[in-house]
Chains A and B, each alone.
Chain A
């Protein structure tokens, strides 16, 4: 069990149904970490850039961020851009979890510094499988920075 196990996982997802399915998949794979949800990019930045100062939010930064791209208002690309340019935040792995399989989107996200890019499959079984891989890889297989 890595030190990351106590840190929360941040999910930035505007769709409640998608978040429900994600939560279901986390539960299925017995995720220990607390799951935080932001419903849009502004909220996510408020937490990430204001952590420790803003009592509404946890005083710790997340272990990893699961980021949806297409959201109303400030979208995932903007969040990714800000976080990866912020010296206090840019070490947090960001996993893009998006409907879009557009090569342009994929390319751009990696260019901005995304650590992974996964598409949301329609098939729930496939989705569950992807969540399992994320949890196993990011929360147990790899070493995360301790910030």
Chain B
């Protein structure tokens, strides 16, 4: 016993006038009326007697309906035929059975097609006349071909196209269309086979309300509806209400059921004379309809209708595989495009550049109109996109309102009223966020559906009023549908959202990898630095300890040489004495070398005592110490006052000046020795590149001495490196410049020299500016 789970209808409307405002509550399954091209008898299940009959039996059989009530079927048939029918009745259910019958007991013994089913506690006998259209024998080979084509169809749309062609060939209707319902239950004509003179409806959209809910519910149960002449005058049942249930019987499975007047009006407005619709059902859901229109009345035989229903059922059975094929094809294309994008991201070290330089690839990942890529407020766009300021607005809105990593909508204007301005290109938005902090996004845009619909009639205005009545027509439907889908784009498929998320993750991975690489490099650097520092410290400690330990035996050698000279001079010849004296001298030299090494290591080992240092003061102190020697050598020192204040260790800085000034005096053959000290002009460049004038002062010490060949500009700063023999220029240890260099570098600066032989030398050194 079939009972629909949902009751959409209102039985109080039985017999009431149906208008557009109440049509979705019209009880279309119990109209109590039939179409007059055939007649109907409802029998009691047990007694097999007529309970109700259609009022047109008088017209068709010459027997008034009232006279049939209470009768058995023997009033129409011979006993032999009655046995056949009876046999059918016992095993009857909702499904139709067809029996060709001759009404033996009716005048003229006419042939009828008897369609039987059992429903609503009644046995239904519907009699259809033999069709006007002469059906040729069923063309099995062509049907076979047709089914073969349908099976081979690669896409849903192609599949629909074969189905409508086939149905048109079988039935000869002027126009056969395949409707497909969208998520919102609105419909679209996706395939059409029509007489060449007719205007195309292909691409027509109509709102969900065009097919009321209760009709959809009925279409799921009864696969085929047929109106051979829309100008029919409905014929009532006699009596209208079933005596047992006290309501009109449920005609859900009835062939002759009279349809809604609203529907008829719609058809008439379109100029349609006959119509047939076949349900297309997928997974128990109404997926769409095959709709046939004829522009004159047309009676199609039950057998042919049955064949069309067979095609509809075959279509329904195959539909899922076709949709899967569609999905699979789109998935495949999506994966290919995604793979291309991933390839680019892998190929280019800078993924942003990869995206910026290959926007078409980014866009083509999805079926969309355009794409935006935004990094650090920098926008790049490709395809159909709004103006730059509008794009910025979208990015800003997303930064603020799209809280997750991924945002998608098929109606941006629904979220942001300002989106109406960009609806033509950006009703649909699929955005992935690439960075939480910055407004970094990739945004795919989809145009408003209306921009992409191709129906020839869409530009013409719907005639809304006719005699003060709402005038129903496809154009009106389209206008109504258009209104309902304003600011809406085609929805993003789950698989598309998934693919976008994958892209986001891929980019996040790349970012993370880059970040990790940078981290790793930084870690490595700091490790190397620490190692370097440690080895420097070790070297310095080594130099310190070694030099310290070396001094002791050296002192021994020195002292014992002295003791030998003191105690045994009288036993040695002058050569022996000379050798001992040399031993004493060499041990003294070695001691001064060790002392220098100690000094140098001390500079490395001790952290400088950094403070604010006025160079003028420090230089004055150094000069004071050197005063006797300056006078002795006749050296003129000029200082370009005032010198700046720096951040350094004052003791060491004094040492630096002391050293550089001593060298300037020492390596100088000029009659008048001059030394010039000052601040180097801005933009001075060290061997290691330019020096930030914001952070450093650069000073110079210039002499008019013997100069240094550029070959030696580096080596002079190495410990114990001397350019001259010991007996020239006062014979230092060669450690002075190494110590100075280390001091400058320990306080964060650099030391270098500019010089040519015989042209004097200029030593430059940089020191950090004082920061409180």
Q: Show the binding face of A for B, using Cβ within 8 Å.
A: 15, 17-18, 20-21, 24, 70, 99-102, 104, 120, 122-125, 127
Q: Are B559 and A17 in contact (CB under 8 A)?
A: yes
Q: Are A122 and B602 in contact (CB under 8 A)?
A: no
Residue of A nearest to B595 (CB): A101
Most buried by A among B556, B559, B606: B559
Q: How far is the CA of A20 from the CA of B587 in the complex (A)?
A: 18
A/B interface sample: 25 pairs, CB < 8 A = A17-B553, A17-B556, A18-B552, A18-B556, A21-B556, A21-B559, A21-B563, A24-B563, A70-B548, A70-B549, A99-B548, A99-B551, A99-B555, A102-B544, A102-B602, A104-B606, A120-B551, A120-B555, A122-B554, A122-B587, A123-B588, A124-B559, A124-B563, A125-B562, A127-B559
Q: Does any Cβ of A come within 8 Å of B175's Cβ?
A: no
Give min CB distance, A44 to chain B, whole Å.
Answer: 18
CB contact under 8 A between A17 and B548, given known A122-B554, A122-B555: no
Q: How far is the CA of A17 from the CA of B560 in the complex (A)?
A: 8
Kindly list chain A residues whose C-beta atoms are within 8 Å of the C-beta of B563.
Answer: 21, 24, 124
CB contact under 8 A between A122 and B556, given known A24-B563, A102-B602, A104-B606: no
Residue of A nearest to B555 (CB): A122
Q: Does any Cβ of A come within 8 Å of B558's Cβ?
A: yes
Kindly list chain B residues whose C-beta atoms are within 8 Å of the C-beta of A99.
Answer: 548, 551-552, 555
Give min CB distance, B224 to chain A, whole Å.
Answer: 107
Q: Secondary structure of the B side of the interface?
A: helix
CB contact under 8 A between A124 and B588, given known A99-B551, A104-B606: no
Residue of B nearest to A128 (CB): B562
Kindly list chain B residues whose C-beta atoms are within 8 Å of the C-beta of A122.
Answer: 551, 554-555, 558, 587-588, 591
Compute the total of residue contacts between A and B using a CB distance below 8 Å. Answer: 47
Which of B556, B560, B598, B602 is close to A15, meaning CB atoms less than 8 Å apart?
B556
- Give 1 or 0 for each of B586-608: 1 = CB within 8 Å of chain A CB: 01100100000010001000100
Q: Are A18 and B602 in contact (CB under 8 A)?
A: no
Kindly list chain A residues whose C-beta atoms are within 8 Å of the C-beta of B552.
Answer: 15, 17-18, 99
Residue of B nearest to A104 (CB): B606
Q: Are A123 and B548 in contact (CB under 8 A)?
A: no
Kindly list chain B residues whose C-beta atoms are within 8 Å of the C-beta of A125.
Answer: 562
Give min CB distance, A102 to chain B, whole Å.
Answer: 7
Q: How far is the CA of A127 from the CA of B549 in the complex (A)?
A: 18
Q: How far is the CA of A123 from the CA of B560 in the complex (A)?
A: 11
Kindly list chain A residues whose C-beta atoms are within 8 Å of the C-beta of B544.
Answer: 102
Most buried by B among A17, A18, A122: A122
Kindly list chain B residues whose C-beta atoms are within 8 Å of the C-beta of A20.
Answer: 559
Q: How far is the CA of A120 from the CA of B127 in the complex (A)?
A: 137
Q: How far is the CA of A99 from the CA of B548 in the complex (A)?
A: 7
Kindly list chain B residues whose C-beta atoms are within 8 Å of the C-beta of A127.
Answer: 559
Kindly list chain A residues whose C-beta atoms are within 8 Å of the C-beta of B602.
Answer: 102
Q: Are A124 and B562 in contact (CB under 8 A)?
A: yes
Q: How far is the CA of A99 from the CA of B558 in the complex (A)?
A: 14
Give min CB distance, B257 to chain A, whole Å.
Answer: 112
Which of A70, A100, A102, A123 is close to B558, meaning CB atoms less than 8 Å apart?
A123
Kindly list chain A residues whose C-beta atoms are within 8 Å of the C-beta of B549.
Answer: 70
Q: How far is the CA of A24 from the CA of B548 in the complex (A)?
A: 23
Kindly list chain A residues whose C-beta atoms are within 8 Å of the C-beta of B588.
Answer: 122-123
Q: Are A17 and B606 in contact (CB under 8 A)?
A: no
Q: How far is the CA of A17 from the CA of B553 in the complex (A)?
A: 8
Which of A17, A70, A100, A101 is close to B555, meaning CB atoms less than 8 Å apart?
A17
Kindly list chain A residues whose C-beta atoms are within 8 Å of the C-beta of B548.
Answer: 70, 99-100
Q: How far is the CA of A126 from the CA of B548 in the complex (A)?
A: 19
For window 557-590 of chain B, which residues contact chain A by CB distance below 8 Å?
Answer: 558-560, 562-563, 587-588
Q: How far is the CA of A100 from the CA of B562 in the complex (A)?
A: 22
Kindly list chain B residues whose C-beta atoms are within 8 Å of the C-beta of A102.
Answer: 544, 598, 602
Give min CB distance, B682 to chain A, whole Å.
Answer: 38
Give min CB distance, B749 to chain A, whole Å.
Answer: 23
Kindly list chain A residues whose C-beta atoms are within 8 Å of the C-beta of B560.
Answer: 17
Give min CB distance, B564 to chain A, whole Å.
Answer: 11
Give min CB distance, B651 to chain A, whole Å.
Answer: 10
For window 513-558 of chain B, which residues contact chain A by CB distance below 8 Å?
Answer: 544, 548-549, 551-556, 558
Q: How far is the CA of A18 from the CA of B602 in the complex (A)?
A: 25
Q: Closest 7 A-B residue pairs measured CB to CB?
A: A17-B556, A124-B562, A122-B591, A21-B559, A124-B559, A99-B551, A122-B555
Q: How far is the CA of A99 from the CA of B547 in the complex (A)?
A: 10
Give min CB distance, A98 to chain B, whole Å.
Answer: 9
Residue of A nearest to B560 (CB): A17
CB contact under 8 A between A21 and B555, given known A99-B548, A123-B588, A124-B562: yes
Q: How far is the CA of A123 from the CA of B592 in the complex (A)?
A: 11
Q: How far is the CA of A104 from the CA of B563 in the complex (A)?
A: 33
